[in-house]
Amino acid sequence: VNDRARLTEIVGPANVLADDDMTAGYRQDWTGRFLGPSTVVVRPGTTDEAAAVIKACAETSTPVVPQGGNTGLVGGSVPLSGEVVLSLTRLNRIEPVDAAGGQVTADAGAAIAAVQHAAAQAGWAYGVDLASRDSATVGGTIATNAGGLRVLRYGDTRAQLVGIEAVLANGDIVTSLPALFRNNTGYHLPSLLCGSEGTLAVITKARLRLVPPAPHKSAALLRFATTDDAAAAAGQLRRGLASLAAVEFFLQAGLDLVCETFALAHPFAAATEGAYLLVEAASDRDPIEHLAAAVNALDGVADVAVATDSHTRAALWRYRELHTESINHVGPPHKLDVAVPVAALAELVARVPGVVHAIAPTAKTWLFGHAADGNVHINVTGLDPDDDRVDDAVFRLVADLGGSISAEHGIGTAKRRWLPLARTPAEIAAFRALKRAFDPAGILNPHVLLPDERR
**Among residue numbers 52 through 111, which ones bind a second copy (CB under 8 A)?**
98-102
What is the distance between the alpha carbons of residues 224 and 371, in angstroms, rounded to a whole number?
Answer: 13
Which of 277, 165, 261 lies closest to 222 in space, CA to CA?
A: 277
CB of 431 to a second copy, least distance (A): 5
Residue list 200-239, contact with a second copy (CB under 8 A): 200, 212-215, 235, 238-239
- The count of residues interacting with a second copy (CB under 8 A) is 94
| Of the candidate residues 29, 107, 248, 373, the single one contacting a second copy (CB under 8 A) | 373
What is the distance between the alpha carbons of residues 367 and 323, in angstroms, rounded to a whole number?
Answer: 9
Which of 419, 413, 441 lies closest to 168 in space, CA to CA?
A: 441
Q: Are 252 and 195 in contact (CB under 8 A)?
A: no
Say how far residue 188 (Cα) sits from the centre of its chain.
Answer: 21
| Of the candidate residues 251, 282, 349, 397, the single one contacting a second copy (CB under 8 A) | 282
Q: Which residues of 68-97 are buried (b: 16+ CB within 10 A; e: fewer)?
A: bbbbbbbbbbbbbeebbbbbbbbbbebeeb
SS3 of 248, please?
strand
Instruction: Work out whether the CA dihedral 88, 90, 91, 96 comes out positive or negative.
Output: positive
Scanning 110-118, 150-158, 266-274, 355-363 for contacts with a second copy by CB under 8 A, the matching segment is 150-158
Residue list 392-411, contact with a second copy (CB under 8 A): 402-411
SS3 of 283, please?
strand
| Of the candidate residues 44, 140, 147, 353, the single one contacting a second copy (CB under 8 A) | 147
Residue list 374-393, contact with a second copy (CB under 8 A): 374-375
φ, ψ for residue 131, nearest 5 deg: -60, -30
Which residue's CB is nearer to a second copy, number 340 or number 363?
A: 340
Which residue's CB is nearer to a second copy, number 93 or number 432?
A: 432
Do strands 41-42 and 84-87 pair parallel, antiparallel, or not at all (unpaired)?
A: parallel
Which residue's CB is nearer to a second copy, number 170 or number 312?
A: 170
Residue list 419-448, contact with a second copy (CB under 8 A): 419, 422-424, 426-431, 433-434, 436-438
CB of 185 to a second copy, least distance (A): 4
Residue list 156-185, contact with a second copy (CB under 8 A): 156, 158-159, 168, 172-176, 178-185
What is the distance between the alpha carbons of residues 292 and 139, in angstroms, rounded to a whole number?
Answer: 38
Residue list 323-352, contact with a second copy (CB under 8 A): 339-343
Which residue's CB is nearer to a second copy, number 53 or number 233?
A: 233
Q: Does 452 bind a second copy (CB under 8 A)?
A: no
Which residue's CB is nearer to a second copy, number 12 or number 212?
A: 212
| Of the candidate residues 2, 19, 186, 362, the single one contacting a second copy (CB under 8 A) | 186
